[in-house]
Amino acid sequence: MNSITSVLASGSLLGLTAGISPGPLTVLVIQSTLRSGFKSGLKVAIAPILTDVPILLAALVLFSNASGNSWIVSMISFCGAAFLAKLAVSSWNERIQLPDQDGLPHKDASALTGVISNLLNPHPYLFWITVGAPIILQPSHSPFLSATAFTASFFFFMVSVKIAMAAAASRFRKLITGPVYLAINRIASLALLGFAAHFLLKGLTETGLIP
């Protein structure tokens, strides 16, 4: 029981950290909520549930020989950098449509955008290969229970934090109009561009082009 408690604590703490940590998904949650309402931000917030499960399964398979796969991280980083840069430029250049005051969301592709962004983000792959898989596969009297406890607590806390961010953005959405909305959208675009540069630098470092 102590081992299960330890696994639950690890999953909860790591989930909270992942939820609070700034990243492309956090930016998209807030940006989508301000643009199209809470439901739009919610779609982005739950994207990790759709994307991390196959990543987790792949990490469990690759865990035993993951040390020689730096080129995979590089390719994911490059693809992520290109996607986020395109998203940032598109967001910066769009004709700003102010949030609906009647609360009705615009038709958007927020769920798909969140899924693609998370799939092309190397951090989930690195996390599950280097942290998640070792915790799940550690010796235990009940491996299935340990794996379930860790993944359930991790996803619960991570997604809950993202949903809370969407709810907070939605709460103040009607107050954020005109120049304020434009400024926030531009700041979000610059943030996405910054993450794109980070992923590009990581890819170049993994390939050895940058020491």
Residue 205 contacts residue 127 (beta carbons within 8 Å): no
Distance between CA atoms of residues 15 and 151, nearest Å:
9
**Average of pLDDT values for 126-151?**
74
| CA-to-CA dists, residue 177 to 18, 32, 43, 120, angstroms | 30, 14, 22, 31
pLDDT of residue 94: 61
Overall average pLDDT of the 29-57 stretch = 86
Domain count, the chain: 1
Mean pLDDT of 5-26: 81
What's the pLDDT tens digit per position in 163-183? 999 998 888 877 766 676 677
Domain assignment of residue 90, given as a range:
2-207
Mean per-residue pLDDT of the chain: 76
> pTM of the prediction?
0.67
C-alpha–C-alpha distance, residues 76 and 98, integer Å: 34
Mean pLDDT of 7-17: 84
Cα–Cα distance for residue pair 55/80, rounded to 1 Å: 15
More confident residue, 91 or 16: 16
Residue with tokens 């170049």: 204
Percent of the chain scoring above 70 in pLDDT: 77
